[in-house]
Amino acid sequence: MTAEPIHESSAAAVAEAFVSARLASRATPDYPGVLPTTMAEGYAIQEIAIGLYPDRIIGWKVGGVGPALQEKLGTHRLAGPIFARNEWPVDGPVTVGAIEGGFCAVEAEFIARIGEGVDPAKTDWTIEEATAAVDAVFIGIEIAGSPLAAINDLGPPIVASDFGNNAGVFVGLELDGWRERLDAITVETTIDGVSVGTGGSPSLQGGAMESVRFLLEHGARRGRPLTAGILVSTGAVTGVHRIYSGSDFVCDFQGVGEIRGTVIKAQV
């Protein structure tokens, strides 16, 4: 039996609930409506929420879809918007605001920047073409965040519906010679003095540039083609690590630099 598609009014109510909760730094104990069961339903809610959020998009986070769900959902990646107010430079230790009672995680990531000349009508990309479309790569961290504590447990359509479970990015040092070096860089994440994960671009299915390739296709097919200067947070190379107010963390991009931070309760 096929589930009935989510009605537009229900999708709008979910989008409004998530946006208002985010703007108020307020937790949402339960999913605020009918759970989306397909990626299309999740993105339909996300699209409404983008229209409600009082800011402009400067980038996109890309996350992985677990192998067990890829065939069912028809994708190996998912995406969510990054807004201008939620992009921060790294010029020393950083401070992360976590919604009390919601979800917050730190993810060490490589952040790609799209260069000039991307064809907005192009909907099929090779990995080589996607790599050529990138004009810079930075070390950084994505702060995965949502008012809904259980968001990651409910599945990719639910994650997509709430901005891809994104709360912002910290953009660190530009990676010199990234085309030659990217796959050889080892990254380690430490929380409260305990190592919680190591990895690198090869830890992502297809690597970091596969995330760019996916997003170029996804954005163009969705009517949101990538343009020069757009950032792509390419995926959690050491894993997704929950953090809470009072925690300290270090993401060490070995041989390049590190990003240190402290977590506090999110403020309005």
Q: Domain 8-265 falls in which CATH fold?
A: Fumarylacetoacetate hydrolase; domain 2 (3.90.850)
Question: In Å, what is the CA distance from 193 to each residue of 120, 169, 189?
Answer: 45, 22, 10
Query: Mean of the per-residue pLDDT values for the chain?
Result: 96
Question: What's the token pair of residue 86?
Answer: 């939620």
Mean per-residue pLDDT for 139-159? 98
Residue 181 near residue 238, CB atoms below 8 Å = no
Whole-number pLDDT of residue 110: 98
Amino acid sitting at position 264: I
- Domain assignments of the chain as residue spans, ordered by start: 8-265
% residues pLDDT > 90 (the chain): 96
Q: Which two tokens stand for residue 138?
A: 């930075």
Query: What is the number of H-type helices and E-type strands within the chain?
Result: 7, 13
At residue 2 the predicted structure's pLDDT band, cuts being 50, 70 and 90, is very low
The model's pLDDT over 246-260, given as tens digits with 9 standing for 90+, comes to 999 999 999 999 999
Helix (H, G, I), strand (E, B) or coil at 59: strand
Mean pLDDT confidence for 183-197: 98
Euclidean distance between CA atoms 163 and 165, whole angstroms: 5
CA atoms of 170 and 27, how far apart (whole Å): 23
Q: Is the dihedral of CA 120, 121, 124, 129 positive or negative?
A: negative
CA neighbours closer than 13 Å in the CB half-sphere of residue 125: 29
3-state secondary structure (DSSP) of residue 210: helix
Q: For position 6, what pLDDT does the model report?
A: 66
Mean pLDDT over residues 200-226, rounded? 98
What is the reported pTM?
Answer: 0.95
